[in-house]
Structure 1
Amino acid sequence: MAARSWSRYSNRTFYLFVSPWVAGFLLLTAVPLGYAFGMSLTNFDGSSPRWRWIGLRNYSELFRDADAWAAMARTIGFTALVVPLSVAGALGLAVLLNRRLKAVGLWRTIFFLPSVVPVVAMAIMWKLVFNRDAGLLNAVLGVAGVEAVTWLVDPMAFYALVTVSLWGLGGGMVITLAALQGVPPELEEAAVMDGAGRWHVFRHVTVPMISPVLFFQVVTGVIASFQIVVQPLLLAETNSIAEVGKVPRGTHLYMVQVYEEFFASSRFGYGSAMLWVCFLVILAITVLVQRSSRLWVYYEVDNDGR
């Protein structure tokens, strides 16, 4: 009787449980995406009711916009540098804190705390650290006899932004640490008994076992790095976040250009077109990473279920 009632109500139960996700996806993802695409086909300025349909003109202009593609190139370079450093740094911290250390819980908390600091507070804090005249970093360099460095202007602004982006390694560290603790110790012990050194055990046993987690961090890191906008705006030596034109060229990433089109130039249609192109670029890179995962990601169960 119980089996028959489950068979009768299984479909209804399934749709009941997935309905919150479906509603959230439609209202918070699908509808905004469709609205943004529709806006990208207009010359809407964000306030005037007089807007008209212009078709693909925004996209045509975007493909000829040298500034937008230069910002995209800087963003790709920024991503290519920050994502590997973030994954490697999180892995290194996780390996270090996976050992039996004194007060290891305290150390884990200390390394994790920066990842929960609000991004605005973090950017303002680092702006004070990088300040040329009164910053902590230049004060330390001054003790070592190094002249003060202007960190927040070109060409050092890019490296300052990279440093700020690497500040929150704690979130990735916790995920990687959980993956390391899930590696069966029997596999590592068997490799040691076969004569493998510590480095070979880590490279050929530990890393393949946690490679799905590393793959997850690469994908999410790529998506997050393409969406960075608050940090470059707050790190710039400006009196207001609205002064987009004063953002150093090295940190004028693609989303900063989008912000400028939306809120400085009031070109909501053109900015929406830029966002859709950014979405397609992120999607293409994600697909490439997914395809490459066949070469370096190990699953205990094959993708075909065997």
Structure 2
Amino acid sequence: MALTTRPRPGRAVSTSTGSSTPPARTARSRQQRHRARTFYAFTAPWILGFALLTVVPLGYALWLSSTNYDALSPHWSYVGADNYTAALSDGRTWSSLLRTLVFVAVAVAGTITVGLALAVLANQRIRGRALLRTLFYLPAVVPPVAAALTFRLLFDRDAGAVNAAAVATGGTATTWLTDPYAFVVLILFLLWGSGSNMVISLAALQGVPSELTDAARVDGAGSWQSFRAVTLPIISPVLFFQVITGVIFTVQTFVPALLLSAGGPRQLTTVPDGLNLFMVHVYVEAFGLGRLGYASALLWLLFVLLVVFTSVVFKVSNRWVHYAVGPEEKGRRK
């Protein structure tokens, strides 16, 4: 007599070929595959552009930094780390790097401070506030080349408006675009374009809760005390963002420096010492002397320096950057 078994209720029936997949799990996996295909289909242009326009050029520059390639002669050879050794032992590299560090410190601190001051002014409830915001932001949308050429005309020794105003008021004409004044003109050029920092700081100021500032005033705090003790800690993440992006942007400055020099970009040997920043040094080595491999090594050294700086700033940011977190998240961080 043959024995038959009945399946228990609620369990999948097993067959000789394997276990069957529940329909709900199959639908979920099909939906997940559809979402994955949709995600990669929409992000494929960016991924392809990032690979071709960022990863490949970086790899090529890294390989180029280990050669003596000059883009003209078909004869080149692999030199290994000789370019890096020569760069680290070159006095021009260190002088341009030191000048760039001073320039970055002054320019970043100045643009953030000026932008914050303009934001505070533009945040006041006064008539013509929209016009003030437009005027403050307008220099930031001027192309850098046009702005640099305008500054070169303004500070020209013979036909510049600055010298004309100085002579009209009893002063003397100054050669602004040579040492030691060229560095000052470049700083003024960057401070003139502080409108972008103003917009970011203005958005941060408008996000400060008015209840906190009102409570500080009720406790007897003045305007400056309220700004220092309440407003600055709240907008510190925005200031931190401006420091990081400002350093990365400012350290790459070379077009205004070349255009402000007396000889212009066609006469690279006439660049004043005050305008001979690190990127100008790289530009001269690459396109003035044809040492593309050496210039690539200089750029990689600059990249390493920026990575180290960013890491250090992120490490010490906990001391002065204050983030608004809830009680639960604050407990998890501890």
Shorter chain as denominator, the TM-score bin is over 0.9
1:111-130 to 2 correspondence within 5 Å?
111-130=136-155
Which AA in structure 2 matches 1:88?
A: T
Q: Could you say which residue in structure 2 is the equivalent of 1:242?
A: 266
The range that moved more, 280-289 or 71-80, is 280-289
Q: Point out the structure with the larger helix share.
A: 1
SS of equivalent to 2:118: helix
For residue 63 of structure 1, report the CA deviation from its aligned partner: 1.0
Q: Does 1:258 align with 2:282?
A: yes
Q: Does 1:31 align with 2:35?
A: no
Q: Could you say which residue in structure 1 is the equivalent of 2:71?
A: 46
Query: Which protein has greater RCO, CA pairs closer than 8 Å, 6+ apart?
Result: 1
Which AA in structure 2 matches 1:255?
A: M
Q: If you compute each CA radius of gyration, which structure gives the higher value, 1 or 2? A: 2
SS of equivalent to 2:48: helix
Q: Distance in 1 between the 2:331 and 2:32 partners?
A: 27
SS of equivalent to 1:278: helix
The range that moved more, 286-295 or 199-208, is 286-295
Q: Distance in 2 between the 1:297 and 1:15 partners?
A: 36
SS of equivalent to 2:159: coil
The range that moved more, 60-69 or 285-294, is 285-294
Q: Distance in 2 between the 1:242 and 1:304 partners?
A: 60
Q: Does 1:173 align with 2:192?
A: no
SS of equivalent to 1:133: coil
Deviations 1:3-52 (A, max 9, x none): 94755644444444444433332222221111101000011001222211
For residue 81 of structure 1, report the CA deviation from its aligned partner: 0.7
Whether the aligned pair in 2 keeps the contact of 1:242 and 1:264 (CA below 8 Å) is no
SS of equivalent to 1:134: coil
Q: Could you say which residue in structure 1 is the equivalent of 2:298?
A: 274
Q: Could you say which residue in structure 1 is the equivalent of 2:322?
A: 298
> Which of 215, 224, 232 lines up with 1:190 in the alignment?
215
Question: Structure 1 pair 279/104, CA: closer, same or farther in 2 (3 Å)?
Answer: same
Q: Could you say which residue in structure 1 is the equivalent of 2:4?
A: none
Which AA in structure 1 matches 2:254?
A: V
Instruction: Report % sequence identity.
Output: 49
Deviations 1:136-175 (A, max 9, x none): 1112222322211111111111101111111111111011
Question: Structure 1 pair 137/206, CA: closer, same or farther in 2 (3 Å)?
Answer: same
Unaligned runs of 5+ in 2: 1-23
Q: Does 1:160 align with 2:185?
A: yes
The range that moved more, 5-14 or 243-252, is 5-14
What is the aligned length?
Answer: 304
Which AA in structure 2 matches 1:295?
A: R
